[in-house]
């Protein structure tokens, strides 16, 4: 055996040898303890331990050496079994073999039906069932989403999972927006399912992203009439865009879903339904301490008629 191998072997087993030598003193303390019953022996051992360790050298009495040998071998066996059965080790695979996961890796943890999953990313999901076909694929359903303000925690994770509608939910809503947006979608889902489609999800993502992007892009002038025109242009553009995307009939956002569901189911004009909902929301906001101004009033007055007009014209042009 080479010196290198001997040194490596000695370094591996030295801690167990030292522990075994120290344990011989415990064997001596047990041997010196008086008493026939186990309890009496243990109580007496409390007094013999200082005597046994008064001499720092290990005890060479055969019984004490046997105790030390058993302690050292027992610890080595425990470490060996722990390392052999560790679930996080990939036996037979060298270090540095880590790789990115693939669709095949996550597939056993996903339910075949999309609606029966917790959405994690665009391609990764986690089944809701606690009893998968293979029990080893069962996983904890807790998800921790970490991100700064505006990074999309609500937009990209919370809202899509709430729209799965596969569970009971308890949601804290400090901003008070989730209950408004998702509550309206759930109402539309029950009242008129045709309002909910891919456009419902895309609206939540695109609209929220645009709000975040343009929230700090304020264009002001010292002239109030210029500010008024800027405000009016924004309201008109918003109403035109709403009428256009709603005409595609590929799903509508939360507010538009309720508007069109009530209008189409009851054969009411869209503009009147929209104005009634706007007034209801404004009154509710004022009751809770919100403020309104000229922009609020103009939005209530002109949004509904523009949405109805653009929606009807777009359907005529597209022949929907």
SS3 118: strand
Q: CA-CA distance, 195 to 265, in Å (whole number)?
A: 11
Report the number of secondary-structure helices (H) and strands (E) in the chain. Answer: 11, 2
Per-residue confidence (pLDDT) for residue 308, from 0 to 100: 93
Cβ atoms of 203 and 188 closer than 8 Å: no
Residue-wise pLDDT for 225-236, tens only, equals 888 888 889 899
Residue-wise pLDDT for 9-52, tens only, equals 777 778 888 888 888 888 888 888 887 787 777 788 788 888 87
Q: Judging by beta carbons within 10 Å of its beta carbon (0-12, 13-18, 19+), is residue 228 exposed, middle or buried?
A: middle
Residue-wise pLDDT for 304-314, tens only, equals 999 999 999 99
**Of 241, 237, 236, 280, which is closest to residue 258 (Cα–Cα)?**
280
Per-residue confidence (pLDDT) for residue 274, from 0 to 100: 93
DSSP 59: P
Per-residue confidence (pLDDT) for residue 309, from 0 to 100: 93
Q: Which residues of the chain have pLDDT under 50?
A: none
Per-residue confidence (pLDDT) for residue 50, from 0 to 100: 83
Q: Which residues of 103-134 are buried (b: 16+ CB within 10 A; e: fewer)?
A: eeeeeebbbeeeeebbbbeeebbbbeeeeeee
Per-residue confidence (pLDDT) for residue 88, from 0 to 100: 56
pTM: 0.53
Per-residue confidence (pLDDT) for residue 223, from 0 to 100: 81
Per-residue confidence (pLDDT) for residue 60, from 0 to 100: 80
């Amino acid at each position: 055996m080479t010196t290198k191998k001997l040194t490596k072997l000695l370094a591996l087993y030295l801690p167990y040898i030292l522990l075994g030598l120290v344990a011989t003193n415990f064997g001596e303390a047990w041997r010196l303890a008086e008493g026939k019953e186990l309890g009496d022996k243990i109580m007496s051992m409390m007094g013999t331990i200082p005597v046994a360790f008064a001499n720092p050298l290990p005890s060479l009495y055969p019984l004490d050496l046997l105790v030390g040998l058993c302690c050292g071998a027992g610890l080595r066996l425990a470490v060996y079994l722990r390392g052999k059965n560790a679930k996080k080790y990939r036996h037979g695979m060298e270090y540095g073999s880590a790789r990115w996961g693939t669709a095949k890796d996550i597939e056993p943890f996903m339910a075949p039906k999309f609606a029966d999953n917790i959405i994690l990313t665009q391609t990764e999901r986690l089944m809701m069932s606690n009893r998968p076909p293979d029990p080893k694929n069962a996983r904890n359903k807790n998800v921790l989403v970490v991100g700064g303000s505006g990074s999309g925690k609500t937009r990209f994770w919370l809202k899509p999972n709430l729209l799965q509608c596969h569970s009971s939910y308890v949601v804290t809503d400090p901003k008070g927006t989730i209950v408004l947006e998702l509550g309206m979608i759930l109402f539309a889902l029950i009242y008129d399912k045709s309002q909910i489609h891919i456009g419902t999800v895309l609206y939540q993502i695109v609209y929220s992203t645009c709000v975040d992007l343009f929230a700090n892009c304020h264009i002001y002038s010292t002239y109030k009439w210029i500010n008024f025109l800027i405000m009016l242009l924004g309201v008109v553009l918003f109403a035109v865009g709403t009428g256009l995307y709603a005409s595609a009939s590929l799903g509508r956002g939360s507010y538009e879903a309720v508007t069109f569901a009530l209008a189409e189911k009851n054969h009411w004009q869209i503009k009147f339904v929209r104005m009634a909902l706007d007034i209801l929301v404004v009154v509710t906001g004022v009751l809770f301490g919100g403020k309104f101004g000229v922009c609020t009033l103009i939005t209530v007055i002109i949004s509904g008629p523009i949405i109805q007009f653009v929606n009807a014209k777009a359907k005529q042009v597209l022949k929907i």
